[in-house]
Amino acid sequence: MTRILVLSRSVISPRMASPGVRAYQIAGALARALPEAEVTLGIPAGQDPVGPPEPSVRLAPYASNAEATFLASLHDVTISRNFPPQFARLLGKTRFALDGFTPLYVEWMELSKRDIEPHWRRTWMASNRWYLNFQLTLADFVFCADERQRDLWIGMMMALALVPSDVYERDPSLRKIIDLVPYGVSPRPLNPQARVLRGVVEGIAETDRILLWNGGITEWNDVDTLFHAMARLAARRPEVKLVFMGVDHPDFAFGPNAGVTRRAFELAEELGLKDRTVFFRSGWVPYDRIDDYLAEADASVCLGYENLESRFAFRTRYVDLFRARVPLLCTRGDVLADRTASEPLGITVPERDVDAVERGIERLLDDSDFAARCKANMAGVAEELSWDTVVQPLVEFCRREGTFAMEPGRRRKQALGRAAMYFALKKLCRSRRLHD
For 121-132, what is the mean pLDDT? Answer: 90
**Three-class secondary structure of residue 386 per DSSP:** strand
Q: Beta 3-7 vs 209-213: how paired, if at all?
A: unpaired
At 115 the pLDDT is 67
Least confident interval from 95-99, 130-134, 335-339, 424-428? 424-428
CB-count burial class (<10 Å; 0-12, 13-18, 19+) for 415: buried
**Long-range CB contact pairs, 265-270, < 8 A, 24+:** 267/223, 267/224, 267/227, 268/227
Q: Is 276 helix (H, G, I), strand (E, B) or coil?
A: coil
Instruction: Give, in order, the Cα–Cα distances in Å from 211 to each of 159, 171, 279, 299, 304.
Output: 44, 47, 10, 5, 16
Higher pLDDT, 79 or 247: 79
Question: Of 263, 283, 281, nearest to 203 (Cα)?
Answer: 281
Rounded CA separation 97/94 (Å): 10
Average pLDDT of the segment spanning 250-278: 83
Least confident piece of the model among 59-68, 242-251, 283-292, 359-368: 242-251
Mean pLDDT for the chain overall: 93
Q: How far is CA 206 from CA 196, 198, 266, in A?
A: 11, 5, 27
pLDDT value, residue 322: 95
Contact of 244 with 217, CB cutoff 8 Å: yes
Q: Is the pTM of this model over 0.75?
A: yes
d(CA 316, CA 81): 15
* Mean pLDDT computed over 371-396: 97
- pLDDT at residue 256, rounded to an integer: 59
- Same fold yes or no, 3-184+388-435 and 209-385: yes
Amino acid at 174: L
Tell me the pairing of strands 77-80 and 58-62: unpaired
Q: Does the structure show a pLDDT above 60 at 114?
A: yes
Residues 265 and 278: their CA atoms lie apart, in Å, by: 10
Give the 3-state secondary structure of residue 357: helix
Q: Do residues 81 and 23 touch, judged by C-beta distance below 8 A?
A: yes
Residue ranges of alpha helices (H) inside 237-331 are 259-270, 290-296, 308-312, 319-324
| Burial category of 279 from C-beta neighbours within 10 Å (exposed 0-12, middle 13-18, buried 19 and up) | buried
CA–CA gap between residue 357 and residue 303 (Å, rounded): 9
- 331 CA to centre of own chain: 17
pLDDT at position 107 is 84
- Mention the CATH class of domain 3-184+388-435: alpha beta
Looking at residue 289, what DSSP letter applies? G
Evaluate whether 156 touches 128 at the Cβ level (below 8 Å).
no
pLDDT over 60 at 436, yes or no: no
pLDDT reported for residue 174: 97
Confidence of residue 434 (pLDDT cuts 50, 70, 90): very low
Once rounded to an integer, what is the mean pLDDT over residues 257-265?
Answer: 81
Whether the per-residue pLDDT at 435 is higher than 60: the answer is no
HSE of 399, CA atoms in CB hemisphere, 13 A: 13
CA distance 97 to 316: 20
pLDDT for position 255? 55
Q: Tell me the pairing of strands 141-144 and 95-99.
A: parallel
Please tell me the distance from the alpha carbon of residue 329 to that of residue 311, in angstroms, as a whole number.
17
Residue range 74-92: mean pLDDT, rounded: 95
Omega before 19 within 30 of 0, i.e. cis: no
CATH number belonging to domain 209-385: 3.40.50.2000
Judge whether 128 and 105 are in contact, CB under 8 Å: yes
Measured CA to CA in angstroms, residue 243 lies from 45, 210, 229, 300, 404 at distances of 32, 7, 14, 9, 47
CB 4 within 8 A of CB 40: yes
Asked which of 51-60, 161-170, 305-314, 328-337 is least confident by mean pLDDT, the reply is 305-314
What is the C-alpha end-to-end distance of the chain, expressed in Å? 53
Nearest Cα to Cα of residue 109 among 308, 324, 294, 283: 308
- Domains of the chain, by residue range, sit at 3-184+388-435, 209-385
Q: Which class for 286: exposed (0-12), middle (13-18), buried (19 or more C-beta within 10 A)?
A: middle
